[in-house]
Amino acid sequence: MRYQVHFSANYETGQYGWTTELETVKKQIDWMLRSLQTDYIDYGFIHCLDTQSDWEDYQKNGILEFLLEQKKQGVVRHIGLSTHTPALANMVLDTGLVDQMMFSINPGYDYHHGDYAKGSADERMALYRRYETEGIGISVMKPFSGGQLLDEKTSPFGKALTMYQCIQYALDKPGVLTVLPGIRNVEDVRQLLGFLEVSPEERDYSVLGTFTPQDALGSCVYCNHCQPCPAGLNIGLINKYYDLSTAGDTMAADHYAKLEKHASDCVNCGHCSDRCPFQVNQPEKMKQVASYFQK
Ligand code: SF4
Ligand code: SF4
């Protein structure tokens, strides 16, 4: 059993609420520990901060201090952060306190659509790389943008995506460990678990290439839609290791070295570029990667 408890979630009224009032937070944590019949929390989360002023209140009101004290006493084992905002995430990550993240990832938010579409596509991808580089795992929240993406009438793209496409999209992002959609009942759980059974074609989200905004075109999203490569390269993984290594991930070069085929094995056939929905010029990128890793 793993417990994840959010310091600032407030269920006093019987409904979910949010508070930065210290005494309420203390009472709520006490109530949650008693209700869960536990004397420890695996992940104590700095909960749902989206602006600099949220973060300032969190510190000024003593909630961060309370959380750190709980960690010192062994009640909390790791500290997490839940946010929708890249700028705030970077600010809190700079403190070095956080081991785990909850972050909202879906094609809508990454492509400027929806209430929590914070930051540019590049800024968001750079953040995912930062998580992976610093060994901070992401649990993805809102993978379907609150359900909007699953219905063509509400999807900002005018086309519905499936749950499985959205889950695969999130899982392909650097740093992502798991995807946590909201569930209402057992049937929802059954449907979600269907992800483990469906074919790669049913998880393929390359349709996104038809509505990718300009600032996200030309960047590899590691989807591997361009496979198979006649030279046997794992194109998505090669791109991911390159991007992570250039972002400062010290493990990425080792992972790259262990691949069976490297960018230098590219025969420049252009098959991948023809297939890529995101307009990535992979033969050029492979030259860049081979020169960077000398392999
Ligand atoms: S080159 Fe294009 S199709 Fe291939 S993995 Fe990258 S984004 Fe996907
Ligand atoms: S251009 Fe290179 S990476 Fe792309 S399919 Fe051909 S050999 Fe593979």
Contact 104, 140 (CB under 8 A): yes
Domain 4-205 has CATH 3.90.1150.10: no
pLDDT at 216 over 80: no
Question: pTM for the complete prediction?
Answer: 0.83
Residue ranges covered by each domain of the chain = 4-205, 235-293
Which residues have C-beta atoms less than 6 Å from ligand 2? 229-231, 233, 235, 266-272, 282-283, 286
In percent, the amount of the chain with pLDDT more than 90 equals: 78
Contact by Cβ (8 Å): 41, 77: yes
pLDDT greater than 80 at residue 169: yes
Q: Pick the ligand that lies closest to the CA of residue 237.
A: 1
Residue-averaged pLDDT of the chain: 93
Looking at residue 114, what is its pLDDT? 84
Instruction: For residue range 55-73, list pLDDT tens digits in order.
Output: 999 999 999 999 999 999 9
Q: Which ligand 2 atom sits nearest the alpha carbon of residue 269? A: 6
Phi, psi of 291 (to 5 degrees): -70, -35
Ligand 2 centre distance from Cα of residue 280 (Å): 12
Q: What stretches of 67-148 adopt beta strand conformation (E)? A: 76-83, 100-104, 137-141
> Does 102 sit in the ligand 1 pocket, CB within 6 Å?
no
**What are the distances in angstroms from CA 256 to CA 104, 200, 289?**
28, 24, 10
* 191, pLDDT greater than 80: yes
pLDDT at 214 over 80: no
